[in-house]
Every structure is written in C-alpha cells, then in structure tokens.
C-alpha cells in the first residue's frame, strides 16, 4: 500500500468537515461602504469614525444616510473645512460647519472652537451629536435636518437668509431682522442660491432642497 492509499484509508476512517468561509456580507460593513460615498474625494475618515457615526445617528433617532447627506452638504466630511467671511475671518468650521453661535448653544469652550478644524473626526462627531440632540432631529429628513443645522432668520417671505439688496427691494423689508448678519451669512452660502437655486438673492427651503439633491447624486 503506497502513501496515497494510506492517506485515503485514514481519511475514510477519520472523516472531517471543511469549514467554508462565510460569504454572507456583514450588513454593517456594507453600510459603512455606502456612507463613505458621501465623502468628498480626498477625505478618508477611518472605519472607527463610520462605526461611531452610525451609532450617533441611531441615538439621534435618524437614518445614518440622512445625517450623512447633511454633513456632505456642509463639508463633504472634511474635518478641516473652514468658511470665512469677506474679511477672511472664520465663521463656520468642521464636519457640520459649527458656528460660534452653535458652539455657545452647546457650551463649547471658545478655545475649542478656535481650533475646531484641527480636532479629529471622532472629536468633532461628539460635538456634532450634542448640537443635533438639541435640535430634536428624530425622524426628520435630510432636508429638515440640514435646515436646522443651517439656521434661519424666519424671514417674513419664508426665506432663511437674504442679501441686503434683496431685503431693501422687498415690500416687507421693515420686517426682516438682523439685516447685516443675514447679508454676511447669505454671502457665505450664496452658491446655494446662485448655482442651485433661483438666483433671487435669498436662500429658501426650495433652494436648499435643490442643492442637497444635486450634491448627493452618485
């Protein structure tokens, strides 16, 4: 009996099972891969971040994809993103473009906001969750979450931000509040109106809906 026959005899007398690899895809891994599509090209956040992002969305009572669309709209998941005014001063930073007003609302120390763009994605995610928790976003769509994050002056015509020229020409101009601040905020976000909206000098819900729809196409 040669060695092959011996091996065959042993195998028949001592059967063993071959454990095949589990080919069932991990749903969390698949979800993370889908969420990564919302990153602007060049931004590479680690899987640890995405695992926590999913948990944050669950705690807030919203779908991870809805929250991802909002962050895509604000920063493209670029933790170093900084929006500046015409004088070059920073006015919004990080994943969800945290402003000083928003940071004050969640009692963020100013020294943290001053270096917010240098915080890691995980660190910013903690502050993002705290802010969103105060906005009560449970069950909301990406558009409604985005509007809460974006802020609004609740203008008499329904717009959120408006330019000074738009306000001065409006028949209800005396009812617009924080006119100078609105003009600054409009200019910082004017592309929502000028590229995706109706180019009227104000940012409306309809403009923002068009913007979110356009940037979240894959």
Torsion of CA 4, 10, 13, 17, to 10 degrees: -90
How does pLDDT run across 119-160, given as a tens digit for each residue? Answer: 999 999 999 999 999 999 999 999 999 999 999 999 999 999
Q: Which long-range contacts (CB under 8 A, 24 or more apart) does 31-36 make?
A: 31/64, 34/65, 35/64, 35/65, 35/68
Distance in angstroms (rounded) separating the CA atoms of residues 157 and 172: 8
Q: Residue 1: what pLDDT?
A: 55
Q: Residue 10: what pLDDT?
A: 56
CB 120 within 8 A of CB 79: yes
How does pLDDT run across 39-72, given as a tens digit for each residue? Answer: 988 888 999 999 999 999 999 999 999 999 999 9
Total-model pTM: 0.84
Domain ranges of the chain: 27-138, 152-218
The 10 Å Cβ neighbour count of residue 80 is: 13
């Amino acid at each position: 009996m040669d060695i092959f026959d011996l091996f065959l005899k042993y195998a028949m007398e001592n059967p063993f099972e071959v454990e095949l690899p589990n080919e069932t895809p991990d749903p969390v891994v698949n979800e993370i891969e889908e969420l990564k599509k919302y990153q602007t090209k060049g931004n590479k956040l680690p899987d640890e971040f995405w695992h926590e992002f999913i948990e944050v969305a669950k705690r807030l009572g919203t779908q991870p994809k809805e929250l991802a669309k909002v962050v895509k709209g604000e920063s493209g998941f670029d933790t170093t993103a900084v929006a500046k005014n015409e004088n070059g001063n920073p006015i919004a930073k990080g994943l969800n473009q945290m402003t000083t007003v928003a940071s004050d609302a969640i009692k963020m120390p100013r020294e943290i906001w001053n270096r917010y763009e240098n915080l890691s994605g995980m660190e910013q995610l903690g502050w993002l969750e705290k802010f969103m928790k105060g906005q009560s976003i449970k069950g909301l769509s990406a558009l409604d979450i985005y509007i809460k994050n974006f802020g609004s002056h609740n203008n008499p015509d329904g717009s959120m931000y408006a330019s000074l020229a738009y306000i001065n020409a409006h028949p209800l101009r005396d009812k617009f509040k924080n006119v100078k601040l609105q003009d600054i905020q409009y200019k910082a976000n004017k592309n929502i109106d000028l590229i995706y909206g109706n180019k009227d000098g104000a940012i409306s819900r309809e403009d923002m809906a068009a913007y979110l729809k356009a940037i979240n196409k894959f």
